[in-house]
Amino acid sequence: SQTIHQWPATLVQPVGSPLSLECTVEGTSNPNLYWYRQAAGRGLQLLFYSVGIGQISSEVPQNLSASRPQDRQFILSSKKLLLSDSGFYLCASGQGTYEQYFGPGTRLTVT
């Protein structure tokens, strides 16, 4: 099975500062990669997904961007954080219509 690594585990950043969250995947090749955000007591909101290197699709307009510089590396970024960017960010990996695997998540607090 796959293993998803995310870092950092927690992050506290001031409004207006930049952001970079990293996700790496082991145990597979050519995966679909996903960034989700989870607000307290709510379901997962898909932010970005990627089917290959350099191929990024955005699901919602927002202050964030994503990049996939390598097959098993997915990065979530922002140039200037907003208070509303606070949340729990999850990276996931999957193959087509099959099982999804999730990383441990990053708790982001924007102050």
Partner 1 sequence: KQEVTQIPAALSVPEGENLVLNCSFTDSAIYNLQWFRQDPGKGLTSLLLIQSSQREQTSGRLNASLDKSSGRSTLYIAASQPGDSATYLCAVTVRWGKFQFGAGTQVVVTP
For tokens 């909101």, name the residue. 45
CA nearest neighbour of 63 among 77, 46, 48, 42: 77
Query: Hey, what amino acid is at 54?
Result: G
Of 75 and 105, CB closest to partner 1: 105
Give the residue with the Cβ less far from partner 1, 73 or 100.
100
Cα(15)–Cα(18) distance, rounded to whole angstroms?
Answer: 9
Least Å distance, CB 55 to partner 1, is: 11
Element counts in the chain: helices (H) and strands (E):
0, 11
Task: Kindly identify the residues of this chain, within the stretch 1-40, that bind partner 1 according to CB under 8 A.
Answer: 4, 6, 32, 34
Residue recorded with tokens 């954080």: 81
CB of 53 to partner 1, least distance (A): 15
Strand pairing partners for 76? 21, 66
43 binds partner 1 (CB under 8 A): yes
**Rounded least distance, CB 78 to partner 1, Å:** 21
Choices 14-22, 68-76, 78-86, 90-98 (CB under 8 A): range interacting with partner 1:
90-98
